[in-house]
Chains A and B, each alone.
Chain A
Amino acid sequence: MNAAQFLLSLIDASGGGIQGRTLLQKRAFFVSLLSGIDSGLGFDAYYYGPYSSTLDNTVAQLKNLDFIDEDDTPFGIISGGFEMRRYDYKLTSQGVEVVKKLRNTNEYRSIHENVEKIEAAGNPNYFELSIAAKAFFILRKQRRPMSTEEIKREAEKFNWDIQPHSLEKAVTFLQRLELTRGAEKA
């Protein structure tokens, strides 16, 4: 399955739409990880968490090919005075047509199962999922079991300011997905 097929499948399995670029990135990261599907997204650890430039380019390409729609909604002014916008993605009718043909594949089924797992494990929003991704990054890097406090201290080295209650929530999410064990093994 290539990156475009993966992305269309992910949006479809998420109910036909995903709200926000960050949520899309982080959800794609976790679903890739859990499903083991190598679609060439190549997530890299950035200071703001895992990010795939391939995914970003694939989104732009699928928009151009009329398979997904992007809507943007303003949501306030940030530091520097800019108006920030949230970008939401949904499948077009042609995108649905393509994805229908993927639904019988094992890869699609695995993506769907793992989207459901994420939802069952607390269905974190984009912010919570970002923290979980950062915590997972630290666990994988350290290759050993770590306490929440240890993760927080390690996060500070990356200038990630993670609040303890957010971190607790993230670790619980990772535990429910059995990703803390995966991190120990990694």
Chain B
Amino acid sequence: MSAGLEIRDPIHGFIYREPHEQDIVDSKAFQRLRRLKQLALANLVYPGANHTRFEHSLGAFHIAGRIAARLLVSPADSRLIRLAALLHDIGHGPFSHVSEPILKKHSQAGKISLKPKQQVHELISAQIIREDPSLAGLILETDRIRIVDLLNGEYGYSVFKEIVSGPLDVDKQDYLLRDSYFCGVKYGVFDLERLVNSLTVHQDDEDKFLAISSDGVHVLEQFVLAKYYMSTQVYRHRIRLITDEMIGRAIGLGIEVDGIGWLKRLYSYDGSNEYIAEYMEWNDERLTTKILEEPPETYACSIFQRLRDRRLLKCILDVDHNELSNPASRMMVFTGSDDFHRPLEKLIAERWGYDKNLVICSPVTFKSAARTESEISVIGPVRPRFFREESTLFSAVNLAINEQRFQVYAPAVYKDERDHKRQHREFYNEIIAMIDKLSDPQTSLSLDK
């Protein structure tokens, strides 16, 4: 067993680990996280954004330990909470969240069982924690099962899971600060010390929940604002959205059109240990290299070449939902999924002579805070209240978060700024007209079949 270590971290200073925790960090499964970038290709916008899931997981582990200590969690449960935080991202695949929809689409539904709101990478995480050979020798089987249960909200009090995954979780507490630091922006900064020290436990007849004391309302507002600003300035940055969509489209077309067998296998999770063993060999760099080794005429390779050379698709339409004045259009654009978007992409491609597979329609929505931060319990002197009732800022922030946009990306080329403006006027007028035409009830119902 290794000696315990302290490690320097740019966000938290020293992070201390017990010897058994150090061994887990040194395991092959955990070391793979060094090769998964936290923000995929956000470094094409923010060149410093090269940090990985490895240091983020360490940061989450560190904060989890601090919170567990503050809430006087028993040493045994505190250890599990720290390990759950350490391992919460262990199942991420190449480009992390970007590939989640592809995993969802190609995983073998009959062989796996996703719970509501559960993502495929979370199911993979659970299987890795339970069965990965490099972890099995380091964590007792009963603890591995407890960690998985804790991550699923099925071990101990609700507060245990909420520390690792919930509106106030250590995941967000770390990534907002870390992403902000590595992107070189200040939007994600909040007073971590104050937030951690404001956390408390609220108890009813049957359970215990994570809550904040009434003097923590302002730091919680700061936290919610940090999340909002990071969403608008980093996570939903125009270029980042384009690169994410391009990665997703390249992989999707690589499987469905190019027929690349190894790519299909990578995204066809079937719950088997053989799959997991193969999956654990993949990371951002390997996937990029392998795709670039495919024939250049394949979509997967050609789109990755564009990404490598930063020859990105252009955003040819960017509208707020209010700009779509026809309610039927708004409805189909934001709720119509592929049944609506693929025909629209085809129409756009035909009109401007693009390859239809390189036109991408993308609704950009923010997850409402109405069901998350709004229901955080604030423990006041008389009775507990919800954060939305205590915060004067929250409703305004939540209103802003609710903004929904619709964007279209395509391989447009502009001769100069004047041509850029001219083409954008054309794109705007004609694409809105196409949307209105496609949203006609007769058309939309036939598309719906």
Bin the interface of chain B by size.
Answer: 20 to 34
Q: Is B137 an interface residue (CB 8 A)?
A: no
Question: Do B335 and A64 touch across chains, with their CB atoms under 8 A apart?
Answer: no
Question: Do A82 and B116 touch across chains, with their CB atoms under 8 A apart?
Answer: no
Question: Do B383 and A77 touch across chains, with their CB atoms under 8 A apart?
Answer: yes
Chain A residues whose C-beta falls within 8 Å of the C-beta of B370 in the assembled complex? 60
Query: Which has the most chain A C-beta neighbours within 10 Å: B116, B334, B384?
Result: B116
Q: Is B1 an interface residue (CB 8 A)?
A: no
Bound Cα distance A94, B337 (Å):
20
Question: Do B368 and A97 touch across chains, with their CB atoms under 8 A apart?
Answer: no
Bin the interface of chain A by size.
Answer: 20 to 34
Bound Cα distance A173, B441 (Å):
36
CB distance from A102 to the nearest CB of B (A): 7
Q: Is B26 an interface residue (CB 8 A)?
A: no
Query: In the complex, which residues 10-67 of chain A have their Cβ closer than 8 Å to any Cβ of chain B?
Result: 42, 44, 46, 51-53, 56, 58, 60-65, 67
* Complex: chain A residue closest to B401, CB-CB: A64
* Complex: chain B residue closest to A106, CB-CB: B445
Q: Is B288 an interface residue (CB 8 A)?
A: no
Q: Is A4 an interface residue (CB 8 A)?
A: yes
Q: Is B365 an interface residue (CB 8 A)?
A: yes
Bound Cα distance A60, B384 (Å):
25
Chain B residues whose C-beta falls within 8 Å of the C-beta of A44 in the assembled complex? 115-116
Query: Which of A46, A52, A53, A98 lies in contact with B328, CB distance below 8 A?
Result: A98
Query: Which of A61, A77, A82 lies in contact with B334, CB distance below 8 A?
Result: A61
Chain B residues whose C-beta falls within 8 Å of the C-beta of A52 in the assembled complex? 116
From known contacts A94-B327, A98-B331, A102-B441, infer whether A79 and B205 are also in contact, taking CB-CB under 8 Å: yes
Chain B residues whose C-beta falls within 8 Å of the C-beta of A4 in the assembled complex? 331, 334-335
From known contacts A44-B116, A65-B321, A102-B441, infer whether A81 and B384 are also in contact, taking CB-CB under 8 Å: yes
Question: Do B386 and A82 touch across chains, with their CB atoms under 8 A apart?
Answer: yes
Query: Which of B206, B327, B386, B448 lies in contact with A97, CB distance below 8 A?
Result: B327
From known contacts A56-B371, A82-B384, A102-B441, infer whether A42 and B116 are also in contact, taking CB-CB under 8 Å: yes
Question: Do A67 and B331 touch across chains, with their CB atoms under 8 A apart?
Answer: yes
* Complex: chain B residue closest to A56, CB-CB: B371
From known contacts A2-B335, A60-B371, A80-B203, infer whether A65 and B404 are also in contact, taking CB-CB under 8 Å: yes
Question: Do B335 and A61 touch across chains, with their CB atoms under 8 A apart?
Answer: yes
Q: Is A110 an interface residue (CB 8 A)?
A: no
Q: Is B20 an interface residue (CB 8 A)?
A: no
CB distance from A27 to the nearest CB of B (A): 18
Query: In the complex, which residues 87-121 of chain A have their Cβ closer than 8 Å to any Cβ of chain B?
Result: 94-95, 97-98, 101-102, 104-105
Q: Is B385 an interface residue (CB 8 A)?
A: yes
Question: Do A64 and B368 touch across chains, with their CB atoms under 8 A apart?
Answer: yes
Query: Which has the most chain B C-beta neighbours within 10 Å: A5, A51, A77?
Result: A5
* Complex: chain A residue closest to B445, CB-CB: A105
Query: Which of B203, B327, B386, B445 lies in contact with A98, CB distance below 8 A?
Result: B327
Bound Cα distance A65, B386 (Å):
25
Bound Cα distance A5, B449 (Å):
13
Q: Is B2 an interface residue (CB 8 A)?
A: no
Question: Do B331 and A65 touch across chains, with their CB atoms under 8 A apart?
Answer: yes
* Complex: chain B residue closest to A82, CB-CB: B384
CB distance from B363 to the nearest CB of A (A): 9
Bound Cα distance A2, B327 (Å):
16
Question: Do B384 and A80 touch across chains, with their CB atoms under 8 A apart?
Answer: yes
Bound Cα distance A95, B330 (Å):
11
Query: Which of B206, B402, B441, B448 lies in contact with A101, CB distance below 8 A?
Result: B441
Chain B residues whose C-beta falls within 8 Å of the C-beta of A2 in the assembled complex? 335-337, 339, 448
Q: Is B12 an interface residue (CB 8 A)?
A: no
- Write out, one digit per residue, whether chain A residues 67-78 have a CB within 8 A of any chain B CB (1) or not (0): 100000000010
Chain A residues whose C-beta falls within 8 Å of the C-beta of B441 in the assembled complex? 101-102, 104
From known contacts A60-B368, A65-B321, infer whether A80 and B331 are also in contact, taking CB-CB under 8 Å: no
Question: Do A53 and B116 touch across chains, with their CB atoms under 8 A apart?
Answer: yes
Query: Which of B321, B339, B386 lies in contact with A64, CB distance below 8 A?
Result: B321
Bound Cα distance A84, B386 (Å):
10
Closest 7 A-B residue pairs measured CB to CB? A80-B204, A4-B335, A101-B441, A53-B116, A94-B327, A81-B383, A64-B402
17 A-B pairs besides A81-B204, A104-B441 with CB distance below 8 A are A1-B448, A2-B335, A2-B336, A2-B337, A5-B448, A53-B117, A56-B371, A61-B334, A61-B335, A64-B365, A65-B335, A77-B383, A82-B385, A98-B327, A98-B331, A101-B328, A101-B441
A-B contact pairs, 30 of them (CB 8 A): A2-B448, A5-B335, A42-B116, A44-B115, A53-B116, A56-B371, A60-B370, A60-B371, A61-B335, A61-B365, A63-B368, A64-B321, A64-B365, A64-B368, A65-B331, A67-B331, A77-B383, A79-B204, A79-B205, A80-B203, A80-B204, A80-B384, A81-B383, A82-B377, A82-B384, A82-B385, A83-B383, A83-B385, A97-B328, A104-B441
